[in-house]
Amino acid sequence: MIRKLIRQMLAAQTLSALTVSLCLLIDSILIGRFLGVQAIAAYGLANPILLVIGAIGSMLAAGVQVACSKSLGSGSKEETDKGYSSAIGLTLGISLVFTLLVLIFRSPLATLMGAGSEGELYDHTRDYLAGFIIGAPGCMGALVLVPFLQMAGQSKLLILAVLGMTAADVGFDLLNVLVFDGGMFGMGLASSLSYYVAMAIALCYFLSRKCAFRFSFQSITMKKIRELFVGGIPAVFTMASSVIFVFILNQLLLSVGGSKEGSEAVAAFSVLMTIGNASNCISTGIGGVSLTLSGILYNEEDQTGLRSLLKLLVKYGIMLGASIGVLLAVSAPVLVRVFIPEANMAQRMAIQGVRLFALGLIPCCMVNALKNLYQATERVRLTEIISVMEGVALPALAAFLFSRWMGVSGAWLYFAAGECLSLLCTALYVWKKSGAVSLGVEPFLLLREGFGVKKENLLEMDIHSLQEVEKAAQDAAAFCMRHGQSEKMANHIALCLEEMASNTVIHGFDPQRENHLSVRVQHKGDRWVLRFRDDCRAFDPVSYVPAGEQEGLGIRLVTAMADDIRYTYSLNLNNLTIKLTAK
């Protein structure tokens, strides 16, 4: 079941990772093609302000993934709704304030970015800032809603929103340059409108009755807002490291070459970063899946699930990293010519840079899987350290050393060398903590001592038919008896399992497709915990009200026996947890 879930989430997360960079990529190409050198320069100067919008949205989205994966893992719908309401309120407030400030101060901001105080470059920068900032609420909102769409199992709608945004941006950009002649303000406004198109598509779910989350002003709490900010801190480290690294490498490139070679290298690096950010969406997608699913599994204390998750993410990281890497290496000349059509030094440098960048995609996927897993499993400091190492310290060191040996060409090894060194440093830390060198995934989980339950206290089963339900109930009863439980208690647990699993098989399984029902029976202290997870249609037995006297009798009986019973529907999965006290 987890394999199918990862594939679904990874496709949606990878596409959603393009939410900001895709519009910027399209804008940079069309501005360069239609509006000239001064316009593309103005776009470059405005970029830091635009990236701040994405940075804030990404920080809040990471906070949502951490906070809400915890509440989903513990089965608390109330806490999930608090996270949803607080995230929406916080995003709306921050984005509106940010929009107002940039609109008011766009002239001094243009000057601060290096556009001067008058002239064509200054006007272009001011205009683009004004047009783009109108879309700040849509951009931030789209980023923050992505994890909620994932948790609700709306991957298809998420993909549709991203595709709709992309098509709208291309269409609005072409209308601007070919019909309305709106200049740089029109280019920025086209991006803004495309973000609102993505938001409108997503809101088809969030404003519907089937939405799994409920917004209310009463659910917005300072405690939850703080939790969102704390959960997003590692994302801030990642983004801040990237900004610092870009500044460092620009200065390094200028110092390594002469004045002409240095400026050409900086231009090539700009193209490399644009192509690299787009291709790196696979590692971002893997990191997003790792953060969300690790948080849920960790709060369920599901060690088996965490082990399977990391193993599959490493496998998919190698496959996707290799595939995209080969594609980049082969198509580098074509991609670079989109940005630099003339055959010159900058074009040659950019082609070489893109090909060397491709070497770092596989280790980058692995590092993202690990550091996001550590964030979800409450090793935030380790995540922050890896983010700084990966984002600035190790790639800057690699660029400096290789450029001294190989000139500008050596600087392009920054990404591959930085990612490989980050992965190596993480592995060395893990091996030191575990006391042994191993390539298995178990040591890399770095789970705290006493996490989960011992193997002898855990029974896990996959059920595919009614016949297997009967056998699973018998196995559960025998499992309880082996742990010294009374025959009455063993029968209670067997009855809970048989009743709930039978309902799922009879009413939930679709004969036209493969169905999955996993059951865990867990003994911890004097508590017995049964967890049911299936990929059938949504059904909440806790809130189920039977229509007839006999209908739902089994569910009512199980509810009466349980000390606590919780249901959540997330990631297209029904999750039911039943807790009983040993008697």
Q: What backbone phi and psi angles, to 5 degrees, belong to 6?
A: -65, -45
Question: Per residue, what are the HEC states of 185-225?
Answer: HHHHHHHHHHHHHHHHHHHHHHCCCCCCCCCCHHHCCHHHH
Average pLDDT score, the chain: 82
| Residue, of 553 and 546, whose pLDDT is higher | 553
Question: Where does the pLDDT of residue 317 fall: very low under 50, low under 70, confident under 90, or very high at 90 and above?
Answer: very high
> Does residue 22 surpass a pLDDT of 80?
no
For 204-233, write each residue's pLDDT tens digit: 888 888 887 888 888 888 888 888 887 777
Q: How far is CA 575 from the centre of its chain?
A: 22
* Total residue length of the chain: 583
- For residue 363, the model assigns a pLDDT of 95
Q: Which residue has the higher pLDDT, 100 or 277?
A: 100
H helix or E strand, kind and range, residue 462:
strand 458-463
Give the pair of three-digit tokens for residue 127.
């205009």
CA 512 to CA 508: how far, in whole Å?
12
**Residue that is written with structure tokens 């969102």 in the block:** 228
Q: In what helix (H) or strand (E) does residue 428 lie, and over which residues does it extend? A: helix 414-434
Q: Please compute the mean of the pLDDT values over residues 55-71 and round it to a whole number.
A: 78
Residue 517 — φ and ψ, nearest 5°? -135, 115
What local confidence, expressed as pLDDT, does residue 16 receive?
65
All structural domains of the chain with their residue ranges: 1-220, 244-452, 455-581
- Tokens 């987890």 found at: 2
Cα angle 303, 307, 313; round to 5: 140
Q: Out of 327-331, 494-498, 570-574, which region has the weakest mean confidence (pLDDT)?
A: 570-574
The whole-number pLDDT of residue 360 equals 93
Q: Is the pLDDT of residue 583 over 70?
A: no
Average pLDDT over every residue of 326-334 = 93
pLDDT at residue 542 is higher than 90: no
581 phi/psi in degrees, rounded to 5: -100, 135
Is 199:168 a contact under the CB 8 Å cutoff?
Answer: no
Q: Each residue of 257-290: b (16+ CB within 10 Å) or e?
A: beeebbebbbbbbbbbbbbbbbbbbbbbbbbbbb
Residue whose C-alpha is closest to residue 273's, from 55, 23, 21: 21
DSSP secondary-structure letter at 448? Answer: P
What is the maximum span of the chain, computed from C-alpha positions, in angstroms? 87
Residue 333 Cα distances to 107, 349, 408, 428, angstroms: 38, 11, 18, 38
pTM of the model: 0.73
Instruction: Please report the pLDDT score of residue 178 as a whole number.
Output: 87
Query: Is the per-residue pLDDT at 486 higher than 90?
Result: no
Judged against a pLDDT cut of 80, whether residue 250 lies above it is answered with no
CATH no. for 455-581? 3.30.565.10
**Rounded mean pLDDT of 445-474?**
84
Residue for token pair 């039977």: 546
* pLDDT, position 522: 87
Cβ-based neighbour number of residue 46 at 10 Å: 26
